Amino acid sequence: MLEFFKKMFTADFMPHGHCMAWQPEVLWLHVGADALIALSYYSIPVALYYFVRKRTDLRYKWVFTMFAVFILSCGSNHIIDIWTLWDPVYRFEGSMKMITAFASLATAVAIWFVIPEALKLPSPARLEVANQELTREIEIREEAQRELKKAYQEADRLVLERTEHLEAANRKLQQEIADREKIEKDLRESENQVRQILSSLPNAIILVDRQGKISRLNPMTEQIFQYSREELVGQPLRTLIPARLREKHARHEADFQREPSQRVMGEYLDLFALRKNGEEFPVEVGLNPVVLGKESFILASVVDISDRKAVENKLKEKSQALARSNAELEQFAYIASHDLQEPLRKLTSFSELLEKNLSGELLDKNAKYLAFISASASRMRELIRDLLNFSRIDKQEDRLVPTPVGDLVKETMGDLSKLIEENQAEIMVGPLPRVPCVPHMLKQVFQNLISNALKFRTESPPVIEIGAIEKARFWEFFVKDNGIGIEAQYADKVFELFKRLHSRFEHPGTGIGLAICKKVIEYHKGEIRLESEPGLGATFIFTIPKGGVAG
C-alpha cells in the first residue's frame, strides 16, 4: 500500500493517447469533450453556491454541499482523463475515482434520509388551500367592515351626537382584531417552532396529562415504540410499560404528581419499556413538569439504551473472562514456580553429574546429546523465569520511588560487564534524571535493551548511546545502537510475547524480554516504541511520567 502511494504520480503505464494511435482528430475530440464536460460540472457547484447564498431559508444546505462535492469530483475526473492522454498517472486517476465513488455513495445515502423530512413540508396544493381560506376570511371581514361602515353612516344620519362614541368603538374593535391576529400568528409560529424542535430530537418525547394519558408525542416516539400517533394519543402511559412493572410505575407516577420536579430515572436502576410487538427494551427516562395554558402535564424524555446495555454486558463478560484468565495465570505462575522448576533443577543437576561422571567414556555423539539435554533444561528454566517475571508485573505492589536513573544504568552495566567486555562494546551515557519508578523494574528494562543491543550486533564493535529528553509532562529515554536493525513493518511486533525475528541458533533468547519492557513501561503509564532500519541500528524510545502514577 505504501508503494502504491509512492508511485501515485509515476508514469509507468502506457498513455491513453497511445490507444488512440495519437490521431489528432480523435485525441482532440476527447480533449474538447472532457474539457466542456469538466467546465459544465465546475459551473454547477458555483450555481448551487449562488442559489444557497440567495435562499437563506433553506433547511438542508448540507445536501447542496454534498451534491456540489460530488459534481466537483466528477468534473475533476474529466480533467484527469485529459491528463492521462499524455501522462499515464492511472494510480492517481483511480484514487480520484474512488473519492468520487465515496462522495457519490454518501450523497446517495444522505438523500434517502432527507426525503422523509422533505415529504413532510407543505405541498403547493395545501398552501393554495390555506391561501384560499385566508382570502375568503379577508373577504368576509372586508364585507363585515363594509356593513359596519354602512351602519355607522346610518347611525350618523340618525343620531349625530353618538358619532364620536361609535368611532371610538370602531377603533377599539379594529385594534382588538389586529391584536388577536397578531396573537394567533405568534401562536402559530411558536407551535411550528416547537413542532420542528420535537421532530428533530433523537429521543422519544411524550406529553402526559394529569390522568396519566398520552396527550402529544414526537416522531421518534413512533419509531422507538413502533406505534402510530393515532394509536397512542389518548391511551394511558402504562401501555408503554411492561405488565410486571406497571404497579411500580403507578407508585412512581403518584409520587411525581405530589412533588413534581425535574428528575432523571434509570441512572441507578434498570428501567424497561414495551414496544408494540411485546418486546421489552432498557430505557432512561427524564421527567419535567410543564404547564400549558391552565393545565399541568408531565414531559417525559425516553432514551433507548439497548446498544449501551449490550456494550455494558459485553464489557462485563470480558471483565469476568479477564478475572478468570488472571486467576488461571496466577495458578500457572504458582505451578511454574514450584512444580515445574523443581524437575528442571533435577534434570540439570543429573545431566551435569552424568557429564562429570562419564567424562571421557561417552562417545562424541552421546556427549552432544547430553549437552543438548542440559542446554534445553537451562532454556526452559530461563523461559519459566521470564514468564513469571512477565506475569508478576501487574501484581506488583511496590510503591514508586524517586530514583536516579543514572544509578540504575550503572548497576545494569556492572551486571553486564562480562558481556560488554566480550563484545568490546562502547556505551555512552548522557545526563539522566531522577524519576518516580519501581527501581528493579526499570533496571530490568535497561538490562533487556542493553542486552538486545549487544546480542543483535554487526561485525563492528557495538556502540550504545543512552540518554533522556525532558518533555512537558514526562521524560523521554532512548537506548540507541549501531546493530543490525530491523524493517519498520516489524517495529510493533517485536514487543509481542514470544515474537522472534531470528532463529534461536542465530541469536539466543526467550522472546519475552521486549514484551516485559513494554509491560513495565505501561505499568508506569508510559509508552515504548522502536525506530529502526535494516543495517542502521535501532533506537528504543520510552517515556516515564513526571507525576509518578502506576498500576
Q: What residues make up the domain containing 465?
A: 401-545
The count of structural domains within the chain is 5
Average confidence (pLDDT) over 513-534: 87
> Do 258 and 167 lie in a common domain?
no
> Do 462 and 525 lie in a common domain?
yes
> Do 148 and 229 lie in a common domain?
no
Q: For residue 13, give every residue at least 6 positions away whose Cβ sits within 8 Å of its Cβ, in sequence order, or none.
A: 88, 90
Average confidence (pLDDT) over 237-258: 83
pLDDT, tens only, 347-363 = 666 666 666 666 655 55
**How many CB atoms within 10 Å of residue 515?**
21
Q: Is the pLDDT of residue 200 over 80?
A: no
**C-alpha dist (Å) from residue 511 to 337, 495, 503:** 19, 9, 10
**Which is more confident, 139 or 404?**
404
Question: Which of 46-50, 128-132, 491-495, 530-534 has maximum average pLDDT?
Answer: 530-534
Residue 374 has what pLDDT? 64
Cα separation of 417 and 48, whole Å? 75
CB of 237 closer than 8 Å to CB of 212 = yes
Res. 1 pLDDT band, cuts 50 70 90? low
DSSP 8-state code for residue 398: P
pLDDT, tens only, 267-298 = 557 788 899 998 999 988 888 888 877 788 88
Tell me which of 197, 216, 244 is where a domain ends. 197
Q: Is the pLDDT of residue 25 over 90?
A: no
CATH label of the domain that carries residue 490: 3.30.565.10
> Do 180 and 218 lie in a common domain?
no
CB of 525 closer than 8 Å to CB of 463 = no
Using the structure block, give the residue that is written with the C-alpha cell 484527469. Answer: 80
Residue 502 has what pLDDT? 45
Residue 551 lies in a domain: no
- What are the grid coordinates assigned to 294, written together? 391552565
Tell me which of 392, 416, 448 is where a domain ends. 392
Average confidence (pLDDT) over 499-518: 61
Q: Is the pLDDT of residue 482 over 50?
A: yes
Question: Which of 128-137, 297-306, 333-342 has maximum average pLDDT?
Answer: 297-306
> Do 6 and 97 lie in a common domain?
yes
Cα separation of 384 and 392, whole Å? 12
> Do 84 and 9 lie in a common domain?
yes
- What are the grid coordinates assigned to 434, written together? 531522577
Cα separation of 161 and 312, whole Å? 85
Q: Is the pLDDT of residue 63 over 70?
A: yes
> Do 493 and 372 lie in a common domain?
no
Query: Angle at which helices 513-523 and 439-455 pack, to 10 degrees?
Result: 150
- According to DSSP, the β-strands at 263-265 and 271-274 are unpaired
> Do 51 and 105 lie in a common domain?
yes
Identify residue 485 by its one-letter amino acid code: G
| pLDDT cut 70: percent of the chain above it | 74
Residue 43 lies in a domain: yes
Residue 550 lies in a domain: no
* Range with lowest mean pLDDT among 322-326, 399-403, 426-430: 322-326
CATH label of the domain that carries residue 271: 3.30.450.20
**Which is more confident, 454 or 548?**
454
Cα separation of 330 and 342, whole Å? 18
CB of 438 closer than 8 Å to CB of 392 = no
Q: Is the pLDDT of residue 198 over 70?
A: no
Q: Is the pLDDT of residue 408 over 70?
A: yes
- What are the grid coordinates assigned to 400, written together? 514508586
Residue 355 lies in a domain: yes
> Do 406 and 538 lie in a common domain?
yes
End-to-end CA distance of the chain: 38
Tell me which of 197, 229, 245 is where a domain ends. 197
Residue among 225, 207, 203, 224 at smallest CA distance from 216: 207
Residue 357 has what pLDDT? 62
Cα separation of 197 and 220, whole Å? 12
> Do 156 and 209 lie in a common domain?
no
Q: Which long-range contacts (CB under 8 A, 24 or more apart) does 489-494 make?
A: 491/529, 491/530, 491/531, 491/532, 492/529, 492/530, 494/530
Identify residue 115 by its one-letter amino acid code: I
> Do 214 and 287 lie in a common domain?
yes
> Do 408 and 534 lie in a common domain?
yes
Q: Is the pLDDT of residue 10 over 50?
A: yes
* Range with lowest mean pLDDT among 112-121, 177-186, 374-383, 501-510: 501-510
Cα separation of 348 and 456, whole Å? 28
Residue 507 has what pLDDT? 43
**How many CB atoms within 10 Å of residue 482?**
19
Q: Which residues pair with 89 in a beta bridge?
A: none
**C-alpha dist (Å) from residue 33 to 68, 81, 106, 225, 345:** 21, 10, 27, 55, 84
